[in-house]
Amino acid sequence: MLTLFQYNWQVREEWLQWCRGISASELAKERTGGMGSFRLTILHIIDVEYSWIRALMGKPDVEIDLTSYKTIDEIEDLSNKLQKENKAYLSEWLQDRENQMVYASWLNQSFTKGEIIRHIIVHEIHHIGQLSVWAREIGMKPVSANFIDRGLANE
Amino acid sequence: MLTLFQYNWQVREEWLQWCRGISASELAKERTGGMGSFRLTILHIIDVEYSWIRALMGKPDVEIDLTSYKTIDEIEDLSNKLQKENKAYLSEWLQDRENQMVYASWLNQSFTKGEIIRHIIVHEIHHIGQLSVWAREIGMKPVSANFIDRGLANE
């Protein structure tokens, strides 16, 4: 399962680099679907992953002020900072956590940790698919979504 | 890992039903990104999943003539038919297959079965994300991409 996070983080990093090839106004420009722009969709991916992993850790959510992250450098720093915490938790993911229940206060619902971990994985891949359409719409080649050929080990 | 296939199949079925709410011309209309239309992108998902699972099974690829599947009924029948074979294989997925090598003749490359299985999962989710942008572009609400709230067990 960890390999799918590694995939997501690799693809996210490639999209962040890809975004350096478009202007600040293209990055922020309002678009149809997703979270409405490249900038907000990438921030949303980072935010949602962190919120769920905080919930898995039994820690309260930390609200992220999206207006504070406008440039790719700022977004990348945030992503790297939060990923450190996420990695530390996920690297010791244990099979016996799968069926433990977690209460998601913002949804007032409980889920198993196994459900949540899959939800986080799927969430990022889905939004990345949206970026790929926007990339084509501005005449650019999107980042490859292939899982193969990334040297990702099986875990 | 099987749960992620179940997720993909549930979401695919919901998109097929969703497509019944748009006209045949919207279904086939050329769009930017993905495989160029709702119809071709969904067929591509079905085709790629089947090709890779045939490779995992050590069976030769079966070419699918995409021009033969124009209506949602035809696409859904194809999806259901091929899913039966895929399910039979995946339901007995064994952990010790993870590191077995498979030769993908059309790429002239070998991958582990673990890599391929993740590639198939990610492939569908990515393309479904593209459909969601197109849905918004024609003013329609896309199918939910949530993994939670689908009653999917952890496997």
DSSP letters, chain A, are: -HHHHHHHHHHHHHHHHHHTTS-HHHHH---SSTTSSHHHHHHHHHHHHHHHHHHHTT-------GGG--SHHHHHHHHHHHHHHHHHHHTT--GGGTT-EEEETTTTEEEEHHHHHHHHHHHHHHHHHHHHHHHHHTT-PPPP--STTS-PPP-
pTM, 2 dp: 0.96
> Which one of A99, A121, A142 has the shortest CB-CB distance to B154?
A99
Closest CA to B8 of B123, B140, B130, B155: B123
Q: Residue B40 belongs to a domain with what CATH number?
A: 1.20.120.450
Q: Is residue B146 part of a domain?
A: no
Whether A123 sits inside 8 A of B114 (CB atoms) is no
Residue A41 in any domain: the answer is yes
CA A18 to chain centroid, in Å, comes to: 16
Given pLDDT bands bounded at 50, 70 and 90, which one contains residue B154?
low
Q: What is the ipTM of this complex?
A: 0.95
Chain A residue with minimum CA distance to B125: A126
**B85-B44-A143 Cα angle (round to 5):** 125
Q: Kindly identify which residue of chain A lies nearest to residue B104, measuring between CA atoms.
A: A148
Phi, psi of B102 (to 5 degrees): -130, 135
Give chain A's domain count.
1
Residue range of the domain that includes A48:
2-108+119-137
Total residues belonging to chain B: 155
Q: Is residue A143 part of a domain?
A: no
Chain A hits for B94, Cβ within 8 Å: none
Asked, for residue B150, whether it belongs to a domain, the answer is no
Query: Could you give the CA distance from residue B28 to residue A16 in angstroms, rounded to a whole number?
Result: 33
- Among partner residues A109, A133, A147, which is closest to B118 by beta-carbon distance? A147
Q: What is the pLDDT of residues B37-93, one digit of tens each?
A: 999 999 999 999 999 999 999 999 999 999 999 999 999 999 999 999 999 999 887
Does a structural domain hold residue A154?
Answer: no
Count of other CB atoms within 10 angstroms of residue B25: 7
SS3 of B102, please? strand
B146 vs A: CB within 8 A: yes
Burial group, residue A90, by CB count within 10 angstroms (0-12, 13-18, 19+) = middle
- Confidence category of residue A105, pLDDT binned at 50, 70, 90: confident
Report residue B12's pLDDT band, with 50, 70 and 90 as the boundaries: very high
- Please judge whether A118 and B145 are an interchain contact, meaning their C-beta atoms are less than 8 angstroms apart: no
Give per-residue pLDDT as tens, A5-22: 999 999 999 999 999 999
Helix axes A2-19, A113-137, angle to 10 degrees: 30
A130 with B126: Cβ contact below 8 A: no
Q: Is residue A155 in some structural domain?
A: no
Q: Look up residue B95 and give its DSSP letter.
A: G
CA distances from B95 to A113, B88, B91, B113 (A): 21, 16, 12, 10
Average pLDDT over residues A114-132: 97
Residues 6+ apart with CB under 8 A from A19: A27, A38, A42, A72
Q: What is the C-alpha to C-alpha distance for residues A129 and B154, in angstroms, rounded to an integer?
A: 25
Residue B113 lies in a domain: no
d(CA B20, CA B121): 25
Interchain contact, B118 vs A32, CB within 8 Å: no
Would you call A119 an interface residue with chain B, using a CB distance cutoff of 8 Å?
Answer: yes
- C-alpha A71/C-alpha A26 separation (Å) is 12
CA distance B122 to B128: 10
Q: Is the pLDDT score of A154 beyond 90? A: no
Task: Report yes or no on B149 lying in a domain.
Answer: no
- The pLDDT of residue A95 is above 80: no
Q: Which residues of A touch B112 (CB under 8 A)?
A: 154
Interfacial B residues in 51-90 facing A (CB < 8 Å): none
Which positions in chain B touch A144 (Cβ < 8 Å)? none
